[in-house]
Amino acid sequence: MGQRMAAVLRTVTNALGEAGIERPGLEARMLLCAAAACDHAALIRDPDALLPPDAATRLQAFVARRLVGEPATRILGTRAFWTLDLIVTPDVLDPRPDSECLIEAALDQLGSRRNLPLRILDLGTGTGALLLALLSECPHALGIGVDLSPAACDVARENAQLNELASRTEIREGTWMEGLAGSFDVILSNPPYIASATIADLDVGVRQYDPRLALDGGADGLSAYRDIMAALPAFLDGGFAVLELGIGQAPDVARIAAAAGLQTLALRNDLGGVPRAIVLRKPDGQA
Ligand code: GLN
C-alpha cells in the first residue's frame, strides 16, 4: 500500500530540513506536487490520499537530486516569478525572488504612466523574467529582450508565449544594445555581477547550475556595468534604467553611472534588506 500524502510531505520536509535547506516545507510541497502531478490545494483538500507508486519513485529521485544541491527550480524546470510561471532550462539563470524588487522599483517610478504605450528593453533577459513581469503590469507596453545566448532567447520566447505576452514581446540575440535604435522608457537588466574568482565559492546550486555567462562579471564583477553604462545614455531620453546589483556593489555602480553622465534616482532593497536595484536616468531626463 502506498503512503498517505501528508505523511510523505512530513518525511520529505524533515529530510530537506536536516540537510539544511532553507524552506524545507515549501520545497517538499513543490517536489511532491510535481511528482504526483497535483496542485498544492489538492494536498490541503485531501491529505489522506495515497501517493501512487510511480509518483513515489519520481519523488524519491527528485529528493535525491535536491539533497546533493540541485535547486528545486532545476529539478522542476519551472519557477514562479512575480505573477508569472516561467520555464527554466540549464541555459538560463534561475530567476530569484529578490529580483522582483526591480519590478517594484520600475512600477514606483512609472506611477500612472504604466498605462502608456511604453517601450521597455531588458538586457540579458535569460528566462525573460524581468521583461515579462513588467509587460504584464504595463498593458500597452512593447518590450524587447536581448540575450547573447541563442538557447536563452528560445526560453524567453517560450515564456512570452506561455504567459500570453508574445504579441508585445520581441526577443533578439545580441550583445547588450548592439543593433538597437531609438530610446526606451524603461531599461531593465540583471547583468552578470559575480567577480570571476569568487564563482567557485558560491553555493553549489548557483555555481553548478546557473550558466556562467549569467554570473561572471569579470575580475571585479563590474565589467557588465561598465559596458552597459557606456551605451545607456544614448538609449534614455526621458526614460530610466533599473539595474540589479550584487551585494555591496551600489557605490561602485553609482560611480560608474555618474562617470557615464547618469544620475542615481533611487536604490531599492531586496527581501533580505540588501540594496539590490539601482534606478538611473540622465540628469535632464523627466523620469
Ligand atoms: N543572483 C545570482 C546570485 O546571487 C547572481 C546573478 C547575477 O550575477 N546577476 O548568485
pLDDT tens by residue, the chain, 287 residues: 679 999 999 999 999 999 999 999 999 999 999 999 999 999 999 999 999 999 999 999 999 999 999 999 999 999 999 999 999 999 999 999 999 999 999 999 999 999 999 999 999 999 999 999 999 999 999 999 999 999 999 999 999 999 999 999 999 999 999 999 999 999 999 999 999 999 999 999 999 999 999 999 999 999 999 999 999 999 999 999 999 999 999 999 999 999 999 999 999 999 999 999 999 999 975 55
> Do 142 and 211 share a structural domain?
yes
> Do 224 and 100 share a structural domain?
yes
Q: How many CB atoms lie within 10 A of CB 237?
A: 16
Number of structural domains found in the chain: 2
Q: How many CA atoms does the CB half-sphere of 118 hold within 13 Å?
A: 28
The answer to whether residue 191 is domain-embedded is: yes
Give, for ligand 1, the residue of 93, 149, 199, 245 to mutate: max count of ligand atoms closer than 8 Å to Cβ. 93
Write out the residue range of the structural domain in which residue 13 sits.
Answer: 5-68
The answer to whether residue 258 is domain-embedded is: yes
> Do 142 and 259 share a structural domain?
yes
The answer to whether residue 116 is domain-embedded is: yes
Give, for ligand 1, the residue of 74, 96, 149, 188 to mutate: max count of ligand atoms closer than 8 Å to Cβ. 96
Q: Which pLDDT value is given to residue 285?
A: 56
The answer to whether residue 287 is domain-embedded is: no
Å from CA of 277 to ligand 1 middle: 13
Alpha-carbon span 159 to 88, nearest angstrom: 9
Number of alpha helices (DSSP H) and beta strands (DSSP E) in the chain? 12, 9
Å from CA of 79 to ligand 1 middle: 16
Is there an atom of ligand 1 within 6 Å of 81 CB? no
Is there an atom of ligand 1 within 6 Å of 190 CB? yes
Å from CA of 78 to ligand 1 middle: 18
Q: Is 167 exposed, middle or buried (CB count within 10 Å of its CB: 0-12, 13-18, 19+)?
A: exposed
What's the pLDDT tens digit per position in 60-87? Answer: 999 999 999 999 999 999 999 999 999 9
> Do 217 and 173 share a structural domain?
yes
Alpha-carbon span 107 to 49, nearest angstrom: 43
The answer to whether residue 118 is domain-embedded is: yes
> Taking a C-beta distance cutoff of 8 angstroms, is the pair 228, 189 a contact?
yes
Q: Is 148 exposed, middle or buried (CB count within 10 Å of its CB: 0-12, 13-18, 19+)?
A: middle
Is there an atom of ligand 1 within 6 Å of 192 CB? yes
Among candidate residues 227, 234, 273, the one with its CA nearest the CA of residue 250: 273
Q: Pick from 22, 38, 68: which residue ends a domain?
A: 68
> Do 140 and 187 share a structural domain?
yes
Question: Which residue's CA lies nearest to atom 1 of ligand 1?
Answer: 96
Q: Which ligand 1 atom lies nearest to the CA of residue 192?
A: 8
Q: Which ligand 1 atom lies nearest to the CA of residue 96?
A: 1
> Do 156 and 43 share a structural domain?
no
> Do 97 and 34 share a structural domain?
no
The answer to whether residue 76 is domain-embedded is: no
C-alpha torsion sign, points 217, 273, 94, 149: negative
The answer to whether residue 286 is domain-embedded is: no
> Do 199 and 265 share a structural domain?
yes
Alpha-carbon span 57 to 248, nearest angstrom: 44
> Do 96 and 49 share a structural domain?
no
Q: Pick from 68, 93, 112: which residue ends a domain?
A: 68
Q: Pick from 68, 97, 114: which residue ends a domain?
A: 68
Terminal Cα distance for the chain, rounded: 63
Alpha-carbon span 144 to 157, nearest angstrom: 11
Look up the CATH number of the domain holding residue 133: 3.40.50.150
Strands of 160-262, DSSP E: 169-173, 184-189, 236-244
The answer to whether residue 77 is domain-embedded is: no
> Do 177 and 94 share a structural domain?
yes
143 membership: H or E segment, kind and range: strand 142-147
Q: Which pLDDT value is given to residue 287?
A: 53
Å from CA of 251 to ligand 1 middle: 18
> Do 186 and 114 share a structural domain?
yes
> Do 101 and 16 share a structural domain?
no
Per the listing, cell 526560453 goes with: 155
